[in-house]
Amino acid sequence: MAEEAREQILGAIRKALNVRGDEAGRRGRVRGRLEQPEAGPIPERARGDANALIERFIAMLEKQNAQVKELARPDELPDAVALELLRRNLPQRVRTGADEMFEQMTWNGTSGLERLTGPARPDDCASLSRALAGAAETGTLFLASGADNPSTLNFLPELHMIAIRREDIVGSYEKAWSRLRAQYGRRRLPRTVNMISAPSRTADIEQTLIKGAHGPKELVVFIIG
């Protein structure tokens, strides 16, 4: 029945366009459009050199109450995480996925930071994820679901920390999606891509701003490199 309904709908569209759908060259043009889609309009704030885009990315995040820390090298991340926990008087314990970036780091340094792995649990106070891309136009981080970065890390703990390489910050959403497609391959995107720009907050109830209503109360972003 579903296939029959589909053909009826497509048939009505072809009739309205006065085409059959099998005209010479028509399928080739459609295939070419899918393989090499035309670029859409890019807003001016998504343009600029690398340094300008980094500055805009940081400004957009801070405007939305996220905190941004810049690190020179990946191996600085564990101590930076430990410091954020110390500032909030939280246990020296953080939950991450099995992301390759984190696997290559030393977590049991002088800070005594304990790294737990896997999906977030109700008693986790802090989590750390890796963003595969960031869009400077809105300060938005793109996080792919999976064992490397479980989506629960983005929502359950009250403190969510996100690491992103400086080179993965681009201007527009379109370029961010292109990076994900290049990494996963065409038609092989992850099940979920969470786009995060700020800690959770809402003013739906009596116009009172509530932090952490739907997720973390705080968001800290580490830009590495």
**Is there a single domain that holds both residue 124 and residue 85?**
yes
pLDDT of 222 higher than 80: yes
Q: What is the pLDDT of residue 204?
A: 58
The answer as to whether 41 is a domain residue is no
Q: What is the number of structural domains in the chain?
A: 2
Give the angle subtended at the CA of 142 by the CAs of 42 and 194, to the nearest 5°: 120
Q: What is the pLDDT of residue 203?
A: 54
The CB density around residue 63, as the number of other CB atoms within 10 Å, is 12
Region 104-118: what's the mean pLDDT? Answer: 85
Query: For the segment 55-66, what is each residue's pLDDT rounded down to a tens digit?
Result: 999 999 999 999
Region 146-157: what's the mean pLDDT? Answer: 95
Query: For the segment 174-197, what is each residue's pLDDT rounded down to a tens digit?
Result: 999 999 988 888 778 889 999 999
Per the structure, the complete domain to which residue 82 belongs is given by 46-224
What does the mean pLDDT of the chain come to? 89
Q: What is the DSSP string of 164-224?
A: EEGGGEESSHHHHHHHHHHHH-TT---S-EEEE-S--EE-TTTT--EETSSS-SEEEEEEE
Q: What 3-state DSSP class applies to 16?
A: helix
Higher per-residue pLDDT: 59 or 107: 59
The answer as to whether 109 is a domain residue is yes
**Is there a single domain that holds both residue 137 and residue 177?**
yes
The answer as to whether 6 is a domain residue is yes
Q: Provide the residue count of the chain.
A: 225
The CATH number given to whatever domain includes residue 68 is 3.40.50.10420
**Is there a single domain that holds both residue 29 and residue 51?**
no
The answer as to whether 211 is a domain residue is yes
